[in-house]
Structure 1
Amino acid sequence: MQTIRLITFDVTNTLIKFKSSVGYEYCKIADLYGIKCNNENTVKAINSNFTILMKQLKKESPFYGVTEGINCNQWWHRLVVRTFSVSGIEMSPEMESKLKLTSTHLYKLFSTAEPYQLIDGVEDTLSALQKNGRSIQIGVISNSDERLPKILSQLGIGHFFQFIILPQFIRAAKPDPKVFQTALDKIDLKDPNQALHIGDDLVKDYLAAKNCKWNALLFGKDDSTSDAINPKHKIKTIKELTYDSIVEKLN
């Protein structure tokens, strides 16, 4: 029977989710500084462009600016300006000043738990896994930035994790194998077959972990029929996770 000593979780859309869309939050704050964009078309444009531009910026300036020598706040300001610009906001010196105020406000806002909420069942599941009596270590492997520990603490779940691995601190991000090796090293675990990663992204979570000889479960409504996914490894809700159910899925 499978023995699990380490369970790591992705965070966004696995443990927590946004209360509102990025576009809605960005436009709501921008409106406070005189940027009139709080309309359906602009919100939709920001939601669409944000994801694309974020991927581009992560390639251009990896790990939230670490390799470039800028801080996380500066990295996000760059993304905010690009997102608004591409989404139809005309740039001018005055607008750049307004966007500076907007990005500063957004950075502070998204440094708190306010824009987020726990996915249903997360706290009870983490508590049950922690108290299962089998000395399981629980950690986080996320591609989020340095603000995450504070956010998880404010949401009331930070104390469940023995470690939180973030790109800024190890200069690597999922699906890089270095991320998963770092997690093993954190608790001096030699056998990756005793580790399990749970996340919602097929490539960055499930396949990345499997490629490192870890066990993996794919969370969410992924309808992929890829042969790379064992149907037993798909979970629809965090609430269904108990130690016994995990072992059953992996055997």
Structure 2
Amino acid sequence: MAAPIPPAGVSLDIAGTLLFPHPSVGGVYAKVARAHGHQIDPSKLDARFPTALKSTSKETSSKERWAEIVERTFAGSIPQSSMAFVQAGCWEAFGHGEAWRMARGTLIILTQLRFLGLKIGVLSNADGRMRQVLAEKELLERFDSVMLTDGVSAAKPDPASFGKMAYNLGCKIEQLVHVGDGLEEDARGANACGAHGIWVTEGPAPEGIHRIPRLTALPEAIRDRMLPDSVGRKLSRTGRNLIANLRGHPEEKSRSNERTVRSIDQAVEEAVKRLGINRPVPEHAISAGWAKLLPPTLARRTAPLRILPDGKLMIQCEGAIVRSEVAFHSRSLLAKIRDLPGCSHIKAIGFVVG
């Protein structure tokens, strides 16, 4: 079986992946209804919403479709004379960040992906309101490309949408990983055009579908594709020469037999001995070992951000309290980091909150 192609870009869906309605769809709809003098149980609206969503056509404009969804969700719970006002209010509400919450650990996850050297984009079939939502959640500038395909012919799962995203991120389609909560639009759509789809779901996945239970598992899944297991694979002379060229060393001129290696570690060790390669990638070592460098509660709320030219490792923390707690461990943390492969040049630790 061929080794997976290391990713160079990651695109993410929005609703149901990065962002979730807050406190819920029914909660937002009920709040709008209250503003027009109608008291409705949010749980009843939440129960009706999935059926209303599935029963409306995607052929109409986004605003018309959502107006129909709102009407079906309320299903006679408010007078028809108020319906147009409630529809407009619901449309407006979901165009602002207040109606959305970020998936747990979103900022840390994006930082971890960026630390691995990946370009990051948003690929969603949502309408233009979501650009404002991303801006209000202070997410917009964290992405290299934002594609909202509503009203455009090339919407997911159209291969053209994934191809355009790969182009925007400056990578080949086979180097693109797309992540979302939709089995057909996200996972299978990406796989069908040569990208790699990851389905975010807590349930089981069909054969051939890469599944992660939640978004917090994404960085590890990406690292696995960047450094795939090499059991039973061969490290050829061509492969060793490629590594040598990347590191600025002379090629191995003589013919050598290919040998099966037991693991990626053995392959790297052989290359180091033969070609004098002694510069492991510190970002990979730090990212892979992060969960063991700090207490679990702190590791989940922090992420390595970047290594500055002067050898200082910048760490992103979710808040000032987390920063203070990590700073308490900074001496032991620095010692552990310096023991990692290729990290002996790390001289200090700095912090960024947010």
- TM-score past 0.5 threshold: yes
Secondary structure of the 1:168 match is coil
Greater mean deviation of Cα atoms: 73-82 or 174-183? 73-82
Instruction: Quickly say closer, same or farther: Cα 1:188–1:129, change in 2 above 3 A.
Output: closer
Matching residue of 1:82: 72
The structure-2 alpha-carbon separation of the partners of 1:209 and 1:18, relative to structure 1 and needing over 3 Å to count, comes to: same
In the alignment, which residue of structure 2 is the partner of 1:114?
98
User: Identity percentage over the alignment?
Assistant: 25
Mapped to 1, the partners of 2:163 and 2:213 lie a distance apart of: 27
Give how far 1:194 is off: 0.7
| Secondary structure at 1:59 match in 2 | coil
Please give the alpha-carbon distance, in whole angstroms, between the structure 2 residues aligned to 1:47 and 1:176.
30
C-alpha deviation, 1:163, in angstroms:
1.6
C-alpha distance in 2 between matches for 1:206 and 1:114: 29
- Structure 1 partner of 2:35: 32
Higher-Rg member (1/2): 2
Shift of 1:111: 0.9
Q: Which residue of 2 aligns with 1:68?
A: none
1:250–1:196: structure 2 CA closer, same or farther, 3 Å change rule?
farther
Aligned pairs for 1:1-251 (under 5 A) are 2-36=5-39, 38-39=40-41, 43-44=43-44, 46-61=45-60, 65=61, 72-84=62-74, 87-89=75-77, 95-132=79-116, 134=117, 136-168=118-150, 170-189=152-171, 191-224=172-205, 226-229=206-209, 233-242=210-219, 243-248=222-227
CA contact (8 A) 2:145 2:169 kept: no
- SS of 1:173's equivalent in the other structure is coil
CA distance in 1, matches of 2:38, 2:89: 13
Q: Is the 8 A contact 1:215 1:250 kept in 2?
A: no
The 8 Å contact of residues 34 and 98 in structure 1, kept in 2 or not, is answered as no
What letter is aligned with 1:108? E
SS at match of 1:58: coil
Query: Residue type matched to 2:226 in 1?
Result: V
Equivalent position SS for 1:114 = helix
* CA root-mean-square deviation: 2.5
**Judging changes above 3 Å, is the alpha-carbon distance between structure 1 residues 185 and 144 closer, same or farther for their aligned structure 2 residues?**
same
Alignment TM-score, normalising by the size of structure 2:
0.57
Contact 1:145/1:166 (CA < 8 Å) preserved in 2? yes
Letter in 1 for 2:119: Q
Contact 1:35 1:98 in 2 (8 A): no
**Residues 120 and 169, structure 2, Cα contact 8 Å, conserved in 1:** no
* Counterpart-to-counterpart distance in 2, 1:180 and 1:18: 25
Q: What secondary structure, in the 3-state scheme, does the structure 2 residue paired with 1:57 have?
A: coil
Cα distance per residue 1:167-204 (max 9 Å; x no partner):
23532322222211221232453x32111111122222
Choose between structure 1 and 2 for higher RCO, CA contacts under 8 A separated by at least 6 residues: 1
Structure 1 length-normalised TM? 0.78
Gaps of 5+ in 1: 66-71
2:13–2:180: 8 Å Cα contact kept in structure 1? yes
Contact 1:130/1:160 (CA < 8 Å) preserved in 2?
no
